[in-house]
Protein backbone atom coordinates (compact mmCIF):
# COMPACT_ATOMS: atom_id res chain seq x y z
CA UNK A 1 0.00 0.00 0.00
CA UNK A 2 1.99 2.95 -1.32
CA UNK A 3 1.54 6.22 0.59
CA UNK A 4 4.42 8.23 -0.84
CA UNK A 5 6.25 7.47 -4.07
CA UNK A 6 6.12 11.19 -4.99
CA UNK A 7 5.81 10.37 -8.69
CA UNK A 8 2.29 11.81 -8.89
CA UNK A 9 3.55 15.38 -9.12
CA UNK A 10 2.98 18.40 -6.91
CA UNK A 11 1.23 21.73 -6.71
CA UNK A 12 3.03 25.00 -7.61
CA UNK A 13 4.41 25.25 -4.05
CA UNK A 14 6.03 21.81 -4.29
CA UNK A 15 3.47 20.05 -2.08
CA UNK A 16 3.12 16.44 -3.33
CA UNK A 17 -0.30 15.49 -4.66
CA UNK A 18 -2.37 13.86 -1.93
CA UNK A 19 -0.45 15.57 0.89
CA UNK A 20 -1.15 18.65 3.01
CA UNK A 21 1.42 21.22 4.08
CA UNK A 22 1.34 22.46 7.67
CA UNK A 23 3.61 25.39 8.54
CA UNK A 24 4.29 25.83 12.26
CA UNK A 25 7.10 28.40 12.13
CA UNK A 26 8.38 30.33 9.12
CA UNK A 27 7.90 29.43 5.47
CA UNK A 28 8.28 25.88 4.19
CA UNK A 29 10.95 25.07 1.62
CA UNK A 30 10.26 21.82 -0.22
CA UNK A 31 10.23 20.33 -3.70
CA UNK A 32 9.86 17.07 -5.58
CA UNK A 33 13.24 16.09 -7.00
CA UNK A 34 14.90 13.31 -8.93
CA UNK A 35 17.96 12.34 -6.93
CA UNK A 36 20.12 9.23 -7.13
CA UNK A 37 17.52 7.58 -9.36
CA UNK A 38 14.71 8.18 -6.85
CA UNK A 39 11.69 10.45 -6.99
CA UNK A 40 11.86 12.11 -3.59
CA UNK A 41 10.52 15.01 -1.58
CA UNK A 42 13.26 17.37 -0.42
CA UNK A 43 12.73 19.31 2.83
CA UNK A 44 14.87 22.31 3.77
CA UNK A 45 14.61 24.24 7.02
CA UNK A 46 16.33 27.38 8.27
CA UNK A 47 14.85 28.46 11.60
CA UNK A 48 11.50 26.98 10.49
CA UNK A 49 9.16 24.11 11.29
CA UNK A 50 6.80 22.47 8.83
CA UNK A 51 5.35 19.11 7.91
CA UNK A 52 3.67 17.19 5.13
CA UNK A 53 0.84 14.94 6.18
CA UNK A 54 -1.78 12.73 4.66
CA UNK A 55 -4.60 10.54 5.83
CA UNK A 56 -4.26 6.83 5.28
CA UNK A 57 -6.34 3.84 6.27
CA UNK A 58 -3.78 1.08 6.52
CA UNK A 59 -5.07 -2.17 8.01
CA UNK A 60 -2.16 -3.12 10.26
CA UNK A 61 -3.32 -6.72 10.47
CA UNK A 62 -2.69 -6.97 6.71
CA UNK A 63 0.03 -4.33 6.31
CA UNK A 64 1.97 -4.08 9.59
CA UNK A 65 5.30 -3.03 8.04
CA UNK A 66 6.05 0.58 7.13
CA UNK A 67 9.05 0.95 4.86
CA UNK A 68 10.66 4.08 3.49
CA UNK A 69 13.89 5.57 2.23
CA UNK A 70 15.43 8.70 3.70
CA UNK A 71 18.60 10.71 3.43
CA UNK A 72 19.83 13.53 5.67
CA UNK A 73 22.38 15.93 4.22
CA UNK A 74 22.37 18.54 7.01
CA UNK A 75 21.54 18.12 10.69
CA UNK A 76 20.37 20.95 12.97
CA UNK A 77 23.25 21.99 15.22
CA UNK A 78 22.75 20.69 18.75
CA UNK A 79 19.36 19.15 18.01
CA UNK A 80 18.13 16.84 20.78
CA UNK A 81 14.48 15.81 21.21
CA UNK A 82 14.99 15.28 24.96
CA UNK A 83 15.06 19.05 25.66
CA UNK A 84 12.42 21.54 24.54
CA UNK A 85 15.00 24.21 23.66
CA UNK A 86 16.83 21.84 21.28
CA UNK A 87 13.94 19.71 19.97
CA UNK A 88 14.87 19.97 16.27
CA UNK A 89 15.36 17.16 13.76
CA UNK A 90 16.24 16.99 10.09
CA UNK A 91 13.89 14.06 9.51
CA UNK A 92 10.84 12.83 11.39
CA UNK A 93 8.23 10.31 10.29
CA UNK A 94 5.04 10.19 12.35
CA UNK A 95 2.48 7.40 12.27
CA UNK A 96 -0.89 8.39 13.76
CA UNK A 97 -3.13 5.63 15.06
CA UNK A 98 -5.87 7.98 16.23
CA UNK A 99 -6.12 11.57 17.45
CA UNK A 100 -4.39 10.74 20.73
CA UNK A 101 -1.61 8.27 19.98
CA UNK A 102 1.34 8.48 17.62
CA UNK A 103 4.78 7.04 17.09
CA UNK A 104 7.50 9.17 15.54
CA UNK A 105 10.67 7.74 14.03
CA UNK A 106 13.42 10.34 14.03
CA UNK A 107 16.95 11.09 12.86
CA UNK A 108 18.34 13.08 15.79
CA UNK A 109 21.56 15.07 15.96
CA UNK A 110 22.46 14.14 19.54
CA UNK A 111 20.12 11.56 21.12
CA UNK A 112 21.60 8.07 20.69
CA UNK A 113 20.35 5.54 18.18
CA UNK A 114 17.72 3.09 19.50
CA UNK A 115 16.71 5.42 22.32
CA UNK A 116 12.97 5.38 23.04
CA UNK A 117 11.23 8.27 24.76
CA UNK A 118 8.25 10.62 24.93
CA UNK A 119 7.90 13.67 22.73
CA UNK A 120 6.45 16.91 23.99
CA UNK A 121 2.78 16.72 23.08
CA UNK A 122 -0.45 18.67 23.58
CA UNK A 123 -2.72 17.65 26.49
CA UNK A 124 -4.37 14.23 26.16
CA UNK A 125 -2.00 13.24 23.35
CA UNK A 126 0.86 10.75 23.57
CA UNK A 127 3.74 10.68 21.08
CA UNK A 128 6.30 7.91 21.48
CA UNK A 129 9.75 8.62 20.00
CA UNK A 130 12.05 6.03 18.44
CA UNK A 131 15.52 7.31 17.49
CA UNK A 132 16.37 5.31 14.38
CA UNK A 133 19.45 7.28 13.36
CA UNK A 134 21.76 9.63 15.20
CA UNK A 135 24.43 12.16 14.27
CA UNK A 136 26.37 12.25 11.02
CA UNK A 137 27.45 8.60 10.80
CA UNK A 138 25.06 7.78 7.95
CA UNK A 139 24.50 11.32 6.66
CA UNK A 140 24.54 11.82 2.92
CA UNK A 141 23.48 8.23 2.17
CA UNK A 142 20.11 6.81 1.25
CA UNK A 143 18.97 4.43 3.98
CA UNK A 144 16.05 2.05 3.77
CA UNK A 145 14.03 1.58 6.94
CA UNK A 146 11.46 -1.07 7.75
CA UNK A 147 9.40 -1.00 10.95
CA UNK A 148 6.61 -3.25 12.15
CA UNK A 149 4.44 -0.40 13.41
CA UNK A 150 1.85 -2.80 14.81
CA UNK A 151 4.48 -4.44 17.04
CA UNK A 152 6.06 -1.09 17.87
CA UNK A 153 2.67 0.11 19.09
CA UNK A 154 2.27 -3.00 21.24
CA UNK A 155 5.70 -2.54 22.81
CA UNK A 156 5.41 1.20 23.35
CA UNK A 157 1.78 1.41 24.49
CA UNK A 158 1.41 -2.04 26.07
CA UNK A 159 -1.71 -2.82 24.06
CA UNK A 160 -2.88 -3.34 20.50
CA UNK A 161 -4.18 -0.40 18.45
CA UNK A 162 -7.96 -0.33 18.33
CA UNK A 163 -8.99 -0.31 15.60
CA UNK A 164 -5.78 -1.85 14.20
CA UNK A 165 -5.20 0.83 11.57
CA UNK A 166 -2.73 3.56 10.80
CA UNK A 167 -4.84 6.66 10.24
CA UNK A 168 -2.18 9.07 9.00
CA UNK A 169 1.48 9.73 8.28
CA UNK A 170 3.49 12.92 8.60
CA UNK A 171 6.94 13.96 7.42
CA UNK A 172 8.46 16.79 9.41
CA UNK A 173 11.59 18.94 9.65
CA UNK A 174 12.32 21.71 12.14
CA UNK A 175 15.15 23.98 13.24
CA UNK A 176 13.40 26.87 14.99
CA UNK A 177 14.55 25.92 18.49
CA UNK A 178 18.26 25.70 17.66
CA UNK A 179 18.04 28.52 15.11
CA UNK A 180 20.03 26.46 12.66
CA UNK A 181 19.32 24.67 9.39
CA UNK A 182 18.69 21.16 8.09
CA UNK A 183 17.98 19.24 4.91
CA UNK A 184 16.48 15.81 4.29
CA UNK A 185 14.87 13.67 1.61
CA UNK A 186 12.12 11.02 1.77
CA UNK A 187 11.08 8.47 -0.86
CA UNK A 188 9.10 5.26 -1.36
CA UNK A 189 6.84 5.19 1.70
CA UNK A 190 4.65 2.10 1.79
CA UNK A 191 2.76 -0.17 4.17
CA UNK A 192 3.66 -3.80 3.41
CA UNK A 193 2.57 -7.27 4.40
CA UNK A 194 5.94 -8.31 5.75
CA UNK A 195 5.76 -11.72 4.13
Q: Which are the contacts of 164, defined by CB distance < 8 A and separation ≥ 6?
A: 59, 60, 61, 150
Q: Which are the contacts of 122, defined by CB distance < 8 A and separation ≥ 6?
A: none
DSSP per residue, 83-114: SGGG--EEEEEEEESSSSEEEEEEEESSSPTT
User: What is the average pLDDT across 55-66?
Assistant: 96
At residue 12, the pLDDT reads: 86
Percent of the chain past pLDDT 70, that is, above it, reads 99
pLDDT one-digit tens code per residue, 5-34 = 898 888 888 899 999 999 999 999 999 999
- CA–CA dist 4, 169 (Å, integer): 10
Torsional sign, CA 43, 93, 20, 8: positive
Question: Over 80: is that where the pLDDT of 194 sits?
Answer: no
pLDDT one-digit tens code per residue, 106-145 = 999 999 999 999 998 888 999 999 999 999 989 999 999 9
Q: For residue 84, which phi and psi values (nearest 5 degrees)? A: -60, -30
Q: Which domains does the chain have, with CATH numbers?
A: 2-192 (2.60.120)
Question: Over 70: is that where the pLDDT of 55 sits?
Answer: yes
Mean model confidence pLDDT for the chain: 95
Percent of the chain past pLDDT 90, that is, above it, reads 88
Q: How confident is the model at residue 147 (pLDDT cuts 50, 70, 90)?
A: very high
At residue 195, the pLDDT reads: 64
DSSP per residue, the chain: -EEE---S-B-TTSPBTT-EEEEEES--EEEEEEETTEEEEEEEEES-EEEEEEEEEEETTT--EEEEEEEEEEPPTT--TTSGGG--EEEEEEEESSSSEEEEEEEESSSPTT-EEE----TT-EEEEEEEEETTTTTTS-EEEEEEHHHHHHHHHSS--SS-EEEEEEEEEE-TTTT-EEEEEEEEEEEE---
Question: Over 80: is that where the pLDDT of 51 sits?
Answer: yes
At residue 141, the pLDDT reads: 96
Amino acid sequence: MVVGDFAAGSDPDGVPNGWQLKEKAGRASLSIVNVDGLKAVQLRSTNTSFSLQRQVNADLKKFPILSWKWKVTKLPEGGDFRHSKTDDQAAQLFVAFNKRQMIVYIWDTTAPKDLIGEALAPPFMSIKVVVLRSAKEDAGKWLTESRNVYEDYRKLYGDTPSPPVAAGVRLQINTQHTRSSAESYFADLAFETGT
